[in-house]
Structure 1
Amino acid sequence: MPITLDFSGKLILVTGGGRGIGRAIAAALAEAGADVAITYTSKDATPVAKELSDKYKVRVKAFSCEVTQSEAVDKMVDAVEKAFSKKVDIGVANAGVSLWKDAHDNTDEDFTNIFAVNTFGPFYLARALVRSWLDLPIPVSGEPSQPLEVWGKKGINLNKQILFVSSISGLVAMNPQRQTAYNASKGAVTMLSKWSHLGINVNSVSPGYVSTDMIANPPDETAKAWVGEWEKRTPVGRFASPEEIGHFVAVMLSDKMGGMGFMAGSDVVVDGGYTVF
């Protein structure tokens, strides 16, 4: 019989789901029957949510969230659960920013911000979801916490997932652009996936170059030259489309791939062969 993806009844939260790879992930999951919550920071993603909802006949809602602020992430997860009247089943930490800058030119603010968005934000999301799934209060500073081992002894199997959208920049130093801080932030978020417990399967996906707005409309002449070099260095001879990555993630999260089963603590590279060298 044909293999199909069916996320009916699932609620999936995608940060940065209003554009680029995040939008493609949200679309693929909605197409497969999931209800989807997408977050945005600057540009209101409500029109995107309505478009996906109307097209795929599922519930898609947009939520404003500054992912660098842990309190904002906690409140967003709570707002999502109230809006959909259920807990999130799968969290996709996708929101991220890039920074092309020599390490010695990075200001303290540059370095702090790249980690705040790319590493702290995903951690805040994962932490907020686990607390919600276990019905744990936000701990007060100085109070002892209850180790997860205690919960494991209770025989809990939450059957939940967290996926971190990382990058091959966390595996290899990209070139010709210089982006030490970005590479380090993505290496860190990849390592966040090396954990699975209590029936929470945690994994990461590391895309290579994807034909997003940044590649279609480079910010300057130097970046335009880089685009051609990136394509030349990708063995398959082209960039991925956002839709390719979106559909791959949908498969990866499905029970057909093992997202709810045996795959845990893995980083899956989808890069057109870029890292084979």
Structure 2
Amino acid sequence: MTLEFAGRSVLVTGASRGIGRATALALARQGADVAINFWAADDIQQQEATDVAAEIESLGRRALLLEADVSDKASVDEIVAQTVETFGRLDHFVACACYSDRQRMLAAEMEGFQRTIDVTMWGAFHGLRAAAAQMVTQGQGGSIVIVSSPRAFMPHPGSMAYNMAKAAVDQMIRTAATELTSERIRVNGIHPGWIDTPGERKFLSEAALARHAAELPWGRLGTADEVARAILFMLSDDADYMTGSFMKVDGGISLPMWAKKNG
């Protein structure tokens, strides 16, 4: 596999941390110029995005910081336009941005429930639509990867909004892939399992994470870099015959319950 992205332009949403950050950096290492979308909910996330840009530039590639709430269509249209204005074109798009509140349905606060769907589902759709439209205008094809989740088909309790959003994202990927074949634009999805990212600390302590990780079939949490490597393959020319497909990088979490470690 070549995984060659020299001279190509990529927009990654949710790129200040976690899977988005790892993907942005991996793309830069392979020669891509990267537009880094982030949402600065606090000073920490602003600094994280700045650090990603600095690291990309240290690799000799161009970086573009784009603060935007992906749930807002106009904002997403604008960051795609800014990417093209700065880099001259858009070759690849990766939708990593998501949001999740975890509450059982009957106790769920609807503001957080709605925000989860707005960012996780609509954010992915706005990015997919705007990126695909730009690629159609360019007339040279392209490739898109949307980060989904095993929760699209595993109804984990306490995550109804997130489960719903990811199930919709999976069908969105299949439909977009079908509609865009004539434009030579590939659309694929990835199902990361339980990945060790800063977002997990919103819900669990380090001790709880370690305890649950040991119970997984593979006996540990996945890493953002492992997911990023799979995303790069799906974006690359090596995956030219792959569209409307899904790749699992989940350490066996979606296997039957009897596959649990020491089960």
3-state SS of the aligned residue for 1:204?
strand
Contact 2:148/2:169 (8 A) holds in 1: yes
| Per-residue deviation, 1:107 | 2.9
Determine the C-alpha separation between the residues in 1 that align with 2:22 and 2:84. Answer: 22
3-state SS of the aligned residue for 2:188?
strand
Amino acid at match of 1:79: Q
Amino acid at match of 1:61: L
1:36 is the counterpart of 2:34 = yes
1:4 is the counterpart of 2:2 = yes
Superposition map of 1:10-49 within 5 A: 10-42=8-40, 43-44=45-46, 45-49=49-53
How big is each residue's C-alpha offset from its partner over 1:95-134, in whole Å with a ceiling of 9 and x where there is no partner? 0012210111223322221111000011111111222233
Q: Which one has a bigger Cα radius of gyration?
A: 1
Contact 1:50/1:61 (8 A) holds in 2: no
User: As a proportion of its length, which structure holds more helix?
Assistant: 2
Determine the C-alpha separation between the residues in 2 that align with 1:184 and 1:232. Answer: 28
Determine the C-alpha separation between the residues in 2 that align with 1:116 and 1:94. Answer: 14
Q: How many residues align?
A: 245
Residue of structure 2 in register with 1:65 after alignment: 68
Amino acid at match of 2:122: F
TM-score in terms of structure 1 length? 0.83
Amino acid at match of 2:16: G
Superposition map of 1:110-189 within 5 A: 110-135=112-137, 158-174=140-156, 178-189=158-169
Residue of structure 2 in register with 1:106 after alignment: 108
Determine the C-alpha separation between the residues in 1 that align with 2:153 and 2:204. Answer: 26
Contact 2:144/2:235 (8 A) holds in 1: no
Consecutive unaligned residues of structure 1, counting only runs of 5 or more, are: 136-155
| Per-residue deviation, 1:230 | 3.5
1:210 is the counterpart of 2:213 = no
* Structure 1 vs Structure 2 CA RMSD: 1.9
Determine the C-alpha separation between the residues in 2 that align with 1:6 and 1:39. Answer: 22
- Alignment partner for residue 269 of structure 1, among 248, 255, 260? 248
Determine the C-alpha separation between the residues in 2 that align with 1:47 and 1:118. Answer: 24
Contact 1:93/1:122 (8 A) holds in 2: yes
3-state SS of the aligned residue for 1:193?
helix
Among all aligned residue pairs of Structure 1 and Structure 2, give the percentage whose two residues are the same amino acid.
32
